[in-house]
């Protein structure tokens, strides 16, 4: 005998007993959707979250960056490639044609006998680097400001940019002046109402090395969270190019000032270089987010510039360095002992969380191959050389800075590519 079918009233009761569970589940789904809906939109739409954006707004394609005229080929990494000899298109200019190069970088004027270091072109794997177009650069800067902020290596890139552009300007249509005790240098393209500027801030934050002329201080101290001292000079800039690395490399630890440099009793803490650098990068990102307009401005950060102070790194003789080096390092995996990967890791960690689009110019690896391109001994020496130094050029060779024209022109080709074809 079949069991009796349940009555309609008992079925209703059973559904009623299930309804609290269904209601709880639906309420939880709605709560999660409201709380994390923005993140889901970012993940599936491949967009970074924009504060204040209504949740109901449909997901759009990645926003077009200011100054973008196109995009790089799909899958093209312009920072991965090789150096190829090019005597037809390199150098972009002659050293003697650019009066803005500092005497610390004029290697030919100071007796360098070879010129091969000027005749290399960077060739990305599987694609081509857009040709540097000085006319496009100047037209895009019309009525705008471009500023390089950082140390002497960023100043070298700044001067390279001016050398790449100034030939298009008449003599009476350009000028260069310094301000603020030489901390600020301004190149003006008068017909374009445009400026290309350099601001000296080796740590980006306030430090005891902020004097643009007298800053050779071994006991370096950085003031925590003090970016506004310099940052007030960066406001209103349309294209900002930051760098900071070399000045942090004083050892494994860094001194951080918690108060003011004017305090009679200074509170100083000692932290690892990586933690100090992380603090500076987070402070920089906060400043950028608060002061830059993502719809009108672009921000770049240049990675660490490698040195070549130890020839044993590339299989050379012990005790030698970049002096007398005229060939490139051919090992594609070469990474010098002076370039700290832990700092690159900090940059990647902090910048990956940025809510403002910052373009990273990864010049470290491609520059690591160029042990031939440093100024070495072919530069102005600010102090007379001793007989001992003259007898041993390795002892005073500069294996940090780069001859112009040379490697840093390539850095600006990469900047050009990322500015117009991101």
Stretch 173-187: mean pLDDT: 95
pLDDT for residue 22: 58
Distance from C-alpha of 382 to C-alpha of 99, rounded to nearest angstrom: 19
* CB contact at 8 A, 298 and 65: yes
* CB contact at 8 A, 410 and 366: yes
- 48-52, 107-111, 173-177, 198-202: which has the minimum mean pLDDT? 48-52
Distance from C-alpha of 103 to C-alpha of 92, rounded to nearest angstrom: 19
Stretch 200-211: mean pLDDT: 95
Q: What percent of the chain has pLDDT over 70?
A: 85
Per-residue pLDDT tens digits for 141-171: 999 999 999 999 999 999 999 999 999 999 9
325-350 exposure pattern, b = at least 16 Cβ within 10 A, e = fewer: beebbeeeebebebbbeebbebbeeb
Total-model pTM: 0.84
Per-residue pLDDT tens digits for 226-247: 999 999 999 999 999 999 999 9
* CB contact at 8 A, 347 and 282: no
Q: Which residue has the higher pLDDT, 40 or 340?
A: 340
Stretch 177-195: mean pLDDT: 96
pLDDT bucket at 214, cuts 50 / 70 / 90: confident
Distance from C-alpha of 134 to C-alpha of 147, rounded to nearest angstrom: 17
Stretch 354-378: mean pLDDT: 97
| Residue (of 410, 324, 407, 411) closest to 370 by Cα position | 407
pLDDT bucket at 58, cuts 50 / 70 / 90: very low
CA dihedral over 88, 90, 96, 99, signed as positive or negative: positive
pLDDT bucket at 27, cuts 50 / 70 / 90: low
Catalytic residues: 152, 398, 401
Terminal-to-terminal C-alpha distance of the chain: 77
Asked if residue 290 has pLDDT above 80, the reply is yes
pLDDT for residue 18: 47
Per-residue pLDDT tens digits for 96-144: 999 999 999 999 999 999 999 999 999 999 999 999 999 999 999 999 9
* CB contact at 8 A, 65 and 130: no
pLDDT for residue 392: 97
Asked if residue 12 has pLDDT above 60, the reply is no
Per-residue pLDDT tens digits for 400-417: 999 999 999 999 999 999
pLDDT for residue 26: 64
Q: Which residue has the higher pLDDT, 27 or 356?
A: 356
Averaged confidence pLDDT in the chain: 88
Instruction: Return the structure tokens found at 58.
Output: 């449909």
pLDDT bucket at 265, cuts 50 / 70 / 90: confident
- 29-33, 141-145, 299-303, 388-392: which has the minimum mean pLDDT? 29-33
Within a 13 Å sphere around the CA of 360, how many CA atoms are in the beta-carbon half? 16
Asked if residue 248 has pLDDT above 80, the reply is yes
Stretch 77-102: mean pLDDT: 97
| Residue (of 222, 152, 178, 119) closest to 382 by Cα position | 152
The residues, any chain, with a CB within 8 Å of residue 208's CB and separated by 6 or more, are 217, 219, 220, 221, 261
Q: What percent of the chain has pLDDT over 90?
A: 76
């Amino acid at each position: 005998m079949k069991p009796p079918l349940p009555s309609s009233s008992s079925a209703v009761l059973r559904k009623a007993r299930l309804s609290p569970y269904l209601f709880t589940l639906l309420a939880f789904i709605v709560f999660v959707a409201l709380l994390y809906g923005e993140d889901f939109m970012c993940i599936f739409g491949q967009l970074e979250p924009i504060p204040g954006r209504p949740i109901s707004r449909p997901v759009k394609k990645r926003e077009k960056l200011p100054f973008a005229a196109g995009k790089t080929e799909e899958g093209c990494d312009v920072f991965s490639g090789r150096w190829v000899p090019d005597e037809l298109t390199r150098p972009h200019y002659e050293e003697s044609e650019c009066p803005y190069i500092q005497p610390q970088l004029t290697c030919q004027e100071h007796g360098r006998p070879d010129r091969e270091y000027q005749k290399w072109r960077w060739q990305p794997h599987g694609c081509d680097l857009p040709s540097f177009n000085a006319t496009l650069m100047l037209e895009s800067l019309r009525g705008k400001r471009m500023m390089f902020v950082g140390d002497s290596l960023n100043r070298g890139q700044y001067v390279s940019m001016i050398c790449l552009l100034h030939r298009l300007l008449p003599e009476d249509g350009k000028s260069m002046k310094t301000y603020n005790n030489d901390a600020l240098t301004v190149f003006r393209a008068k017909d374009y109402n445009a400026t290309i500027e350099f601001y000296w801030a080796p740590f980006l934050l306030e430090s005891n090395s902020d004097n643009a002329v007298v800053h050779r201080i071994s006991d370096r101290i950085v003031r925590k969270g003090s970016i506004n001292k310099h940052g007030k000079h960066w406001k209103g800039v349309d294209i900002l190019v930051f760098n900071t690395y070399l000045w942090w490399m004083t050892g494994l630890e860094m001194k951080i000032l918690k108060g003011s440099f004017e305090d009679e009793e200074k509170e100083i803490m000692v932290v690892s270089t990586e933690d100090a650098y992380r603090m500076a990068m987070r402070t920089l990102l906060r400043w950028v987010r608060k002061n830059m307009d993502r719809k009108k401005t672009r921000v770049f950060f240049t990675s660490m510039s490698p040195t070549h102070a130890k020839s044993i790194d590339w299989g050379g003789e012990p005790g030698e360095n970049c002096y007398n080096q005229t060939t490139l390092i051919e090992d594609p995996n070469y990474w010098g002992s002076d370039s700290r990967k832990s700092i690159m890791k900090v940059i990647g960690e902090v910048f990956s969380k940025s809510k403002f689009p910052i373009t990273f110019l990864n010049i470290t690896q491609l520059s690591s191959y160029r042990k031939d391109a440093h100024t070495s001994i072919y530069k102005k020496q600010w102090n007379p050389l001793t007989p001992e130094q003259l007898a041993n050029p390795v002892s005073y060779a500069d294996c940090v800075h780069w001859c112009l024209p040379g490697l840093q022109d390539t850095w600006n080709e990469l900047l050009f590519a990322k500015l117009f074809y991101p």
